[in-house]
Amino acid sequence: MNEAKTKERDSGVELEFELGDPPQKVWRAITVPELRERWLPKEALADPDAITVTPGHEVRYKLRDDSPPFLESTVTFTITPNATGGTCLRIVHELTDVRTDRMARAAANSNSPLLMLAA
């Protein structure tokens, strides 16, 4: 890996890497289960099969946390050839669990207005 770029997103993170290996080799590493297992264990996957596949270009997997609250997310791998014969690998990891919307709106420090209940 020559260079890595990271971008923060509202619901996740985007990474970009310049790799010296050809796109075909990188594609195998992200799609063949035995090779993918080395760096993306099957326990992290909500489903071992990809959600979407554009052969030779993009693959998307559904992930699930292994501890409560067991949030779900997607990770998308996009590969494109670069000018040196290597590969540009873009990884986008996004939270997709609908529960994260409710969590983001709730104040953790109870700064909401005080409500009185009728007895």
Tens of pLDDT, residue by residue over 28-80, are: 999 999 999 998 888 889 888 999 999 999 999 999 888 777 788 999 999 99
Domain count across the chain:
1
Q: Is residue 17 part of a domain?
A: yes
Tens of pLDDT, residue by residue over 82-93, are: 999 999 999 999
What per-residue confidence (pLDDT) applies to 76? 96
What per-residue confidence (pLDDT) applies to 34? 94
Q: Is residue 24 part of a domain?
A: yes
As a whole number, mean pLDDT of residues 7-36 equals: 88
As a whole number, mean pLDDT of residues 88-116 equals: 67
Q: Is residue 110 part of a domain?
A: no
Picking from 101, 52, 43, 100, the residue whose alpha carbon sits closest to that of residue 75 is 52
What per-residue confidence (pLDDT) applies to 111? 58
Alpha helices in the chain (DSSP H): 23-31, 33-36, 99-105
Q: Is residue 60 part of a domain?
A: yes
CATH number of the CATH domain containing 44: 3.30.530.20
Q: Is residue 107 part of a domain?
A: no
Task: Tell me which range, 9-13, 41-45, 107-111, is most confidently predicted by mean pLDDT.
Answer: 41-45
Q: Is residue 50 within 8 Å of residue 33, measured between CB atoms?
A: no
| φ, ψ for residue 34, nearest 5 deg | -65, -35
Q: Is residue 117 part of a domain?
A: no
87 Cβ partners below 8 Å, 6+ apart? 18, 19, 21, 22, 23, 25, 26, 79, 80, 81
Q: Is residue 27 part of a domain?
A: yes
As a whole number, mean pLDDT of residues 96-101 equals: 62
**Adjacent-strand bridge partners of 52:** 60
Q: pLDDT band for 1, please (50, 70, 90 cuts).
A: very low
Its domain, for residue 47, covers: 3-100
Q: Is residue 106 part of a domain?
A: no
